[in-house]
Structure 1
């Protein structure tokens, strides 16, 4: 399939069926992090906090609730009180997003809000990533989405 550009620089419309795929739910197979995989509104966060399970270790706290969908969603709540510098908060959020993106297949069916802990700025990125994965395994083993509500 070849797309051609028109003189205005836009792609010319091509009536082939391969170009007109209907919107689908996000795939847990690829390693993308689409907007649909994020908790965006206060209503989304309130849903998770309403009836959630808490998973934690030395570095992270995760608030988790089943979302009755085939894909996971991630929300980040890294408080300024816990990590005072924006550089530290952004680093922690980057690590959390990356770990989530790589292991979203194990988390499918959950809404997760990630909370930071005091002192995370001093911990190596590799250790933070490994401790995030430790919680991913705990959530996966918990079988939370199959429990009666």
Structure 2
């Protein structure tokens, strides 16, 4: 999805900020991923090989997204999870960019791009949420 497509997302959100406020809050990579649907390079994100117990939150608004016990090694180079903490926190949008048809996932609370979901994950869901580390913040258990 291009920047121009993202700006057309005028759906009311729980967390809304101006582009200037997002730029002030997020580092350049976080901004490009969450606000412009960019993708970090495979195997470069800080959570790709992360295995600490806790919860992964949206870096933009702090919404809890994924528990560490749903994270698995998909070998794809991005953190992968088989289900979100609660289904309604993830918004699914058809993404027809780059000559492909995929399902983009966004944070329901702020509209931030997180990554994509695929139907090649493990049981019990069969889904693989392939998420950019730059869209995540981690809070350790306890």
The alignment's TM-score, normalised by the length of structure 2, stands at 0.26
Quick check: which has more Rg, 1 or 2?
1
The alignment's TM-score, normalised by the length of structure 1, stands at 0.25
Structure showing the higher helix proportion among its residues = 1
